[in-house]
Amino acid sequence: MKRRDFIFKGLGAGVLAGSGISLHGFSRIMGNPIAPADGEYDLVAIKGSDPVAMFDKGIESMGGMQAFVKPGQTVVIKPNIGWDAIPERAANTNPELIGRMISSCYEAGAKSVSVFDNTCDEWKNCYSKSGIEQEVKKAGGNIIPGNSESYYREVKIPDGKNLTVTKVHELILDSDVFINVPILKSHSSAKLTIAMKNLMGVVWDRRWWHKNDLHQCIADYATFRKPDLNVIDAYRVMKRNGPRGVSTEDVVRLDAMIISRDIVAADAAATKMFGLEPEDIPHISIADDMGIGNMNLSELNINRIKM
């Protein structure tokens, strides 16, 4: 079957009736039909029923974790752990995915793997109820707080337009490899929260962003240190009432994942998966205009995998 004819069916069809959102799935993620060699894809989109197996298959087609993590390197993984909520609420990144990613980093020879977030709810409750703390410890990773200003150092954002100075968590500044692992979900201020929006959890005073053009600030920060790898968790998707959500009734099973080095491309693909266009999310268009990444998926080599 040709990649352009490869359509995943039934991704939330009818589930979102009355929500104002329609999830059309991978049929909307189109790219270059010429398949490159493994490791040369710009973006990989995976459909499957097991987040761990999905990640393993997806990262394999990107050249394996060894393409991103070298022996002896220190790694920081930044999931969304912002909310005091169980995994089924889809407010936070899938904990099993984080556990598997840590193990994969160690298999590639990482010296250490640390995980943190500057949470919105009380951090200990977020880390525990999300299930992420347990998975991090099980995989031999380090779970690090982000709740004190003492963990953050002031940096300049030379290419920022609105955001020119901010305080960034020391793990982001000191680690060799930075892996960004957001969950795809709705957001009351940004419309969607995905990879670029997830970076608000690595700075101290993100409240300033909301007062000074949130979308421009999101794009500005993405010029500072782009993640080496972005893995978007779209296994469970909060279709409304984000970013916190109210109950599991806000959630649909999409059973999907996106992997890319390009943070803008990753967000553009996830936006299409949600039933929107990249142009509907201002910070994606701004980041594309600023040259941070490419939101035009038709120009990319995309591997779509159905498991």
Query: Domain segments of the chain: what residues?
Result: 67-231+242-250+259-295
C-beta of residue 119 within 8 angstroms of C-beta of residue 143: no
What's the whole-number mean pLDDT along residues 288-306? 95
* Mean pLDDT value across the chain: 90
pLDDT of residue 25: 60
* pLDDT surpasses 50 at 3: no
* pLDDT surpasses 80 at 12: no
Q: Which amino acid does the sequence have at 68? A: F
pLDDT of residue 4: 30
The pair of three-digit structure tokens given for residue 191, joined into one six-digit string: 């419309």
> DSSP letters of the chain?
--GGG-----SSTTTTTTTT----GGGG---BSS---TT--SEEEEE-S-HHHHHHHHHHHTT-GGGT--TT-EEEEEE---SS--GGG-SS--HHHHHHHHHHHHHTT-SEEEE----SS-HHHHHHHTSHHHHHHHTT-EE----SGGGEEEEE-TT-SS--EEEEEHHHHH-SEEEEE-EEEEETTTEEE-HHHHGGGGBS-THHHHHS-HHHHHHHHTTT---SEEEEEEEEEE-SSTTT-SSGGGEEEEEEEEEES-HHHHHHHHHHHTT--GGGSHHHHHHHHTTS----GGGSBEEEEE-
Reported confidence tier of residue 242, pLDDT bands at 50, 70, 90 = confident
Percentage of residues of the chain with pLDDT beyond 70: 88
pLDDT digits (tens, 9 = 90+) for 213-228: 999 999 999 999 999 9
What's the whole-number mean pLDDT along residues 43-69? 97
The pair of three-digit structure tokens given for residue 289, joined into one six-digit string: 């205009």
Reported confidence tier of residue 236, pLDDT bands at 50, 70, 90 = very high
Determine the Cα–Cα distance for residues 230 and 74; give it in Å rounded to an integer. Answer: 17
Strands 229-238 and 251-260 come out as: antiparallel
Name the nearest CA neighbour of 114 among 72, 55, 175, 198. Answer: 175
Which residues, at least 6 apart from 72, have a Cβ–Cβ distance to it below 8 Å? 109, 110, 111
* pLDDT surpasses 60 at 14: no
Reported confidence tier of residue 29, pLDDT bands at 50, 70, 90 = confident
User: Any idea which fold 67-231+242-250+259-295 has?
Assistant: Rossmann fold (3.40.50)
